[in-house]
């Protein structure tokens, strides 16, 4: 699901729920929710809402934010629901556009600088890679299924997925992964380890991938090609594993 759509839906849903119910029992009575102190419940709602906007690029006047929340719960609004939603959505879109432009500039600067390194090779598509260890085996075709170990990170160094940390390699078909993976894996011989620098237009582009990978993100993968799996080697359940790996890759 698109992050923008998700957040705007969350905002709309939260606001609609608040406007539809002028008073919440827990606020009206001041009593603790079952199993949790009243203050903890209040704080937790703040955390739930705050997490949705933590990476949005928006800044808030927190006293007004708290007042708006309180007014909505109590049904004492100084703006109509539609006006509030329009203002919030407009502000969010502007913040997102600004953040996306900054991400594009950052990505372009990184790729340009990275391309100047002696050990980095840039392909015609814009994919960049560095050989950590050359493989001695065959290279896969675009239609092959492979078994790999990998670690994926963002430009800030944050690791968003790792088969090493998960404790086992993954298997997938090159026809079912992002373009940067499909191209990069075809460069690696079995036994090889490459570092792939995948531009956003060969990955998740303007959409990003959920809350894990922001829009216009260059992805850095250390990939170890363990084997090319022939049809005879595919065991029952491998197709399901392939689909799972593909879905996991698409959610990165």
Residue 222: its pLDDT value, please?
97
Residue 43: its pLDDT value, please?
86
Long-range residue pairs from 206-212, CB within 8 A, at least 24 positions apart, any chain: 206/100, 207/2, 207/3, 208/2, 208/3, 209/250, 209/251, 209/252, 210/1, 210/3, 210/251, 211/3, 211/55, 212/160, 212/161, 212/251, 212/252
Residue 107 resides in a domain: no
> Catalytic annotation on 216?
no
Residue of 121, 24, 100 whose CA lies nearest to 56: 100
pLDDT of 14 over the 60 cut: no
The total number of structural domains in the chain stands at 2
Give the torsion through C-alpha atoms of 67, 69, 72, 78, to 10 deg: 30
Share of the chain above pLDDT 90, in %: 50
Handedness of CA 61, 67, 71, 72 (dihedral sign): positive
> For 225-239, what is the mean pLDDT?
69
If one compares 52 and 223, the residue with the highest pLDDT of the two is: 223
> For 213-224, what is the mean pLDDT?
95
> Catalytic annotation on 92?
no
Of 7, 204, 213, 228, catalytic: 204
Of 7, 216, 221, 228, catalytic: 221
Residue 200 resides in a domain: yes
Instruction: Point out the domain boundary residue: 50, 70, 99.
Output: 99
> Catalytic annotation on 178?
yes
pLDDT in tens, 139-151: 999 999 999 999 9
* Confidence tier at 196 by pLDDT (50, 70, 90): very high
Residue 212: its pLDDT value, please?
87
- One domain for residues 93 and 127: no
Residue indicated by tokens 């460069």? 187
Residue 105 resides in a domain: no
If one compares 22 and 79, the residue with the highest pLDDT of the two is: 79
pLDDT in tens, 135-181: 999 999 999 999 999 999 999 999 999 999 999 999 999 999 999 99
> For 84-92, what is the mean pLDDT?
90
Residue 241: its pLDDT value, please?
45
Of 19, 69, 110, 160, catalytic: 160
Range of the domain at 40: 3-99
pLDDT of 41 over the 80 cut: yes
Assign 143 to helix, strand or coil.
coil
Residue 47: its pLDDT value, please?
86
How far apart are alpha carbons 212 and 50 in whole angstroms? 16
Residue partners of 92: CB distance under 8 A and separation at least 6? 4, 7, 8, 11, 53, 56, 58
> What H or E segment, with its residue span, contains residue 102?
helix 81-115
Residue 234: its pLDDT value, please?
53
* Confidence tier at 38 by pLDDT (50, 70, 90): low
- One domain for residues 141 and 235: yes
pLDDT of 31 over the 80 cut: no
DSSP string, 149-214: EEEEE-TTS-EEEEHHHHTS-EEEEGGGS-HHHHHHHTTPPTT-EEEEEE-GGGTTTTT-BTTTB-
- List the Cα angle 171/176/177 in 5-degree steps: 80
If one compares 87 and 40, the residue with the highest pLDDT of the two is: 87
> Catalytic annotation on 161?
yes
Instruction: Point out the domain boundary residue: 99, 129, 147.
Output: 99
Q: Compute CA 38 distance to the chain's CA centroid, rounded to the nearest angstrom.
A: 33
- One domain for residues 139 and 228: yes
> Catalytic annotation on 221?
yes
Percent helix, strand, coil in the chain, to 5, is 50, 20, 35
CATH of residue 174: 3.10.50.40
- Phi, psi values for residue 39, rounded to 5°: -60, -40
* Confidence tier at 122 by pLDDT (50, 70, 90): very high
* Confidence tier at 73 by pLDDT (50, 70, 90): confident
Of 7, 92, 129, 161, catalytic: 161
Question: Any idea which of 54-68, 98-112, 165-179, 202-216 has the lowest mean pLDDT?
Answer: 54-68
Q: Which residues pair with 198 in a beta bridge?
A: 219
């Amino acid at each position: 699901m698109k992050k923008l759509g998700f957040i705007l839906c969350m905002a709309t849903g939260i606001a609609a729920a608040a406007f539809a119910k002028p008073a919440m029992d827990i606020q009206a009575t001041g009593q603790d929710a079952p199993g949790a102190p009243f203050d903890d419940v209040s704080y937790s709602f703040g955390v739930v809402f705050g997490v949705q906007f933590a990476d949005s690029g928006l800044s808030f006047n927190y006293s007004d934010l708290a007042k708006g929340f309180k007014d909505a719960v109590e049904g004492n609004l100084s703006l109509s629901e539609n006006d509030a939603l329009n203002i919030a959505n407009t502000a969010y879109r502007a913040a997102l556009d600004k953040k996306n432009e900054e991400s594009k500039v950052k990505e372009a600067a990184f790729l340009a600088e990275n391309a100047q390194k002696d050990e980095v090779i840039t392909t015609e598509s814009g994919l960049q890679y560095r050989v950590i260890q050359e493989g001695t085996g065959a290279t896969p075709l675009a239609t092959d299924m492979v078994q790999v170990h990998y670690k994926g990170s963002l430009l800030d160094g944050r690791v968003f997925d790792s088969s090493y940390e998960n404790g086992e390699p993954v298997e997938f078909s090159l026809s079912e992964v992002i373009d940067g993976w499909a191209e990069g894996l075809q460069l690696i011989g079995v036994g090889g380890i490459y570092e792939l620098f995948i531009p956003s237009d060969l990955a998740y582009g303007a959409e990003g991938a959920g809350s894990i990978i922001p829009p216009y993100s260059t992805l850095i993968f250390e990939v170890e090609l363990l084997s090319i799996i022939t049809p005879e080697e595919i065991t029952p359940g491998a197709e399901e594993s392939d689909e799972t790996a593909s879905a996991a890759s698409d959610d990165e």
